[in-house]
Structure 1
Amino acid sequence: MMAGLDIKEIVELALLLIATGALSGFLAGVFGIGGGAILVPVFYECFRVAGVPLEVRMPLCVGSSLAVIIPTSIRSFQAHYKRGAVDMAILRVWWLPIVIGVAAGSVVARYAPERLFKIVSVCVAWSAAVRLIFARETWKFGDDLPNGPLMRIYGFCVGILSTLMGIGGGLFSNLLMTFYGRPIHQAVATSSALAVLISIPGAIGYVYAGWPAAGTYPTVAALQIPFALGYVSPIGAVLVMPMSLVTAPLGVRAAHAMSKRTLEAAFGCYLFIVGSRFVMSLVGGQ
Structure 2
Amino acid sequence: MDLTVYLLILALTGVLVGFTSGLLGVGGGFIMGPVQFFLLMALGVDPNIAIRVAFGTSLAVILPTTISGAWGHKRKGAVLIRPALIMGITGFIGGLLGALLATNMPVEVLRIISGMVIFVSALWMLRTHLPQKKDEKTHKDSSYLFWGFLVGLIAGLLGIGGGVIMVPILTLLLRFDIHKAIGTSTVVIIISSMGGIIIYILQGLSVQGLPPYSVGYVNLVQFMALALTSIPMAQLGVITSHRLPGKHLRYIFIVVLVYISLKMMGIFEWLNLPL
TM-score of the pair, normalised by structure 1: 0.87
Alignment partners' CA distance in 2, 1:253 and 1:273: 24
Aligned to 1:23: 16
* 1:64 paired to 2:57: yes
Render the CA deviation track for 1:112-142: whole Å, top value 9, x for unaligned. 22223212211211111112233324799x9
1:281 shift after superposition: 7.0
Structural mapping, 1:85-104, within 5 Å: 85-104=78-97
> Are the structure 2 counterparts of residues 283 and 24 from structure 1 closer, same or farther at C-alpha, using a change threshold of 3 Å?
closer
Render the CA deviation track for 1:187-207: whole Å, top value 9, x for unaligned. 000011112112233222101
> Are the structure 2 counterparts of residues 57 and 79 from structure 1 closer, same or farther at C-alpha, using a change threshold of 3 Å?
same
> Are the structure 2 counterparts of residues 151 and 246 from structure 1 closer, same or farther at C-alpha, using a change threshold of 3 Å?
closer
Alignment partners' CA distance in 1, 2:252 and 2:85: 30
Alignment coverage as a number of residue pairs: 268
> Are the structure 2 counterparts of residues 143 and 116 from structure 1 closer, same or farther at C-alpha, using a change threshold of 3 Å?
farther
Alignment partners' CA distance in 2, 1:193 and 1:149: 18
Alignment partners' CA distance in 2, 1:139 and 1:79: 26
CA contact (8 A) 2:92 2:193 kept: no
Alignment partners' CA distance in 2, 1:36 and 1:78: 19
CA contact (8 A) 2:89 2:192 kept: no
CA contact (8 A) 1:115 1:282 kept: no
Aligned to 2:273: none
Q: Which amino acid aligns with 2:238?
A: V
Counterpart secondary structure, 1:266? helix
Aligned to 1:188: 182
Aligned to 1:210: 204
1:264 shift after superposition: 0.7
Alignment partners' CA distance in 1, 2:107 and 2:268: 10
Aligned to 1:109: 102
The more displaced of 199-208 and 36-45 is 199-208
Task: Report sequence identity in percent.
Answer: 28
CA contact (8 A) 2:90 2:192 kept: no
1:149 shift after superposition: 3.2
CA contact (8 A) 2:84 2:185 kept: no
1:173 shift after superposition: 1.5
* 1:268 paired to 2:254: yes
1:148 shift after superposition: 4.5
Structure 1: stretches of 5+ with no match in the other structure: none
CA contact (8 A) 1:98 1:155 kept: yes
Q: Which amino acid aligns with 1:98?
A: G
Quick one: which of 139, 152, 170 aligns to 1:146? 139
Aligned to 1:120: 113
> Are the structure 2 counterparts of residues 20 and 137 from structure 1 closer, same or farther at C-alpha, using a change threshold of 3 Å?
closer
CA contact (8 A) 1:66 1:166 kept: yes
Structure 2: stretches of 5+ with no match in the other structure: 271-275
Q: Which amino acid aligns with 2:187?
A: A
Q: Which amino acid aligns with 1:79?
A: G
Q: Which amino acid aligns with 1:42?
A: V
Alignment partners' CA distance in 2, 1:237 and 1:172: 23
1:209 shift after superposition: 2.0
Render the CA deviation track for 1:169-226: whole Å, top value 9, x for unaligned. 2122211111122111100000111121122332221011223432xxxx23xx2xx1
Aligned to 1:136: 129
* 1:175 paired to 2:168: yes
Aligned to 1:235: 221
The more displaced of 142-151 and 19-28 is 142-151
CA contact (8 A) 1:60 1:233 kept: yes
Alignment partners' CA distance in 1, 2:234 and 2:151: 22
Quick one: which of 71, 75, 91 aligns to 2:68? 75
